[in-house]
Amino acid sequence: MRVVRHRKNMGKTEAILTGLENSKGEVLVILDADLQYDPLEIPLLLDKMEEGYDIVTGWKKGKYAKPFASCVHNLVSRIHPRIPVHSQNLIKALKR
């Protein structure tokens, strides 16, 4: 494992992009550090990838801190680009 840091806080998206740019693996897993998602779920994502998927994403089940905002986001995401989206979360596995 290698740690890559920004000199100042550039936000979550830049942190993810920097991590992806500096990674070397064939399969990459993105997971929030606050453990909202259990790292023990990672093998489930990888199992799905073995079925031929290039990207696998998980989503939260249960209560949300912002249920109205989540519902609006999910509705808009489902209408366009017509891809089923459950939430904007951060537990994903993807092939390079």
Domains in the chain: boundaries: 29-95
Q: Is the pTM of this model over 0.75?
A: no
What angle is formed at CA 60 by the lines to CA 89 and CA 65, rounded to 5 degrees?
85
Please give the residue that has the higher pLDDT: either 70 or 18.
18
> What angle is formed at CA 83 by the lines to CA 81 and CA 87, rounded to 5 degrees?
105
Q: Give pLDDT, residue 81.
A: 59
* Predicted confidence band of residue 22 (pLDDT cuts 50, 70, 90): very high
The whole-number average pLDDT for the span 6-32 is 90
Question: Of all residues in the chain, what percent carry a pLDDT higher than 70?
Answer: 69
Rounded CA separation 29/93 (Å): 4
CA dist., res. 9 & res. 82, Å (int): 33
Share of the chain above pLDDT 90, in %: 32
pLDDT, residue 52, reads 93
